[in-house]
């Protein structure tokens, strides 16, 4: 229940913030890859946003930019929040664009090593 309420609050906040933050459409995936590494996102989420023991999977198909932005700025989960002083709106939008650009992986059934 607590999680659900938090999620709804995040979504509501996302709607508000979407009117004020940089449009994701103007973001640059190449710059986003650099920002993803420069700001240490890869340390928990992996260079491809694949996630692991330390961080959630971010890509492919990341959450919509608005929700993503609200989460990064206000996280109450294991990831600490990243305020603008640490991660700019521009970098955040570019990072999202990078995550959007990551292609879907193969089906595991097509990889012999995962079918032993």
Partner 1 sequence: MARKDRRRFLTGVLATGAATAVAPAIGQSESEEKPQRPSALPPTTQVAALETQTPGEMAESRIGGVPGSDFMVDVIKTLNIKYCPANCASSYRGIHESLIDYGGNKMPEFLTCMHEESAVAMGHGYFKIAGKPLLTLCHGTVGLQHATMAIYNAWCDRVPVIVIGGNDLDAAHRPPGVPTFHSAQDIGAMVRDYTKWDDTPVSLQHFAQSMVRAYKIAMTPPYGPVLISLDAGLQQEVIKQHGNEKLYIPKYVPTSPPQGDSGAVKEAARLLAAADNPVIVADKAARTPNGIKLLVQLAELLQARVIDQGSRVNFPKTHYLSTGATAVSSADVIIGLELSDFWNTVNSWTDNGENGVGENHSRIKPGTKLISISAAELLTKSNFQDFQRFQAVDISMAGDAEATLPALIEAVRAAIPNARKDAIAQRGQAARKAHAEQEARAKQAATLGWDASPISTARMVMETYNAVKGLDWSIVSQSGNVSGWQNRLWPLTEHHHWIGRSGGFGVGYGAPASVGAALANRDAGRISVNIQSDGDLMYAPGVLWTAAKHKIPQLAVMHNNRGYHQEVMHVQRMANFRNRKSNYGGDMGPVGTRIENPDIEYHKLAESMGWWAKGPIKDPAQLAPALREAVKVVQSGTPALLNIWTQPR
Residues contributing to the site for partner 1 (CB under 8 A): 2, 37, 40, 42-44, 46-55, 57, 59-60, 75-83, 85-86, 105-108, 111, 113-116
State in angstroms the smallest separation of the CB of 54 from partner 1.
5
Residue indicated by tokens 């459409």: 25
Q: How far is the CB of 25 from partner 1 (least distance, A)?
A: 26
CA–CA distance, 25 with 34 (Å, rounded to integer): 18
Which CB atom, from 25 or from 85, has the smaller least distance to partner 1? Answer: 85
* Per-residue b or e along 14-35, where b marks 16 or more CB atoms closer than 10 Å to that residue's CB: beebbeebeebeebebebbbeb
16 vs 47, which CB is nearer to partner 1?
Answer: 47
CB of 2 to partner 1, least distance (A): 8
Helical axes 2-17 vs 65-74, angle rounded to 10°: 110
């Amino acid at each position: 229940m607590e999680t659900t309420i938090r999620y709804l609050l995040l979504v509501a906040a996302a709607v508000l913030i979407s009117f004020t933050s940089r449009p994701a459409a103007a973001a640059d995936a190449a710059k986003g890859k650099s920002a993803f590494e420069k700001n240490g996102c890869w340390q928990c989420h992996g260079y491809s946003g694949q996630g692991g023991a330390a961080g959630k999977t971010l890509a492919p198909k990341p959450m919509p930019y608005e929700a993503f932005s609200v989460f990064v700025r206000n996280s109450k989960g294991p990831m600490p929040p990243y305020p603008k002083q640490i991660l700019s709106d521009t970098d955040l939008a570019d990072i999202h664009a990078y995550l959007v650009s990551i292609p879907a992986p193969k089906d595991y059934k097509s990889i012999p090593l995962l079918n032993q």
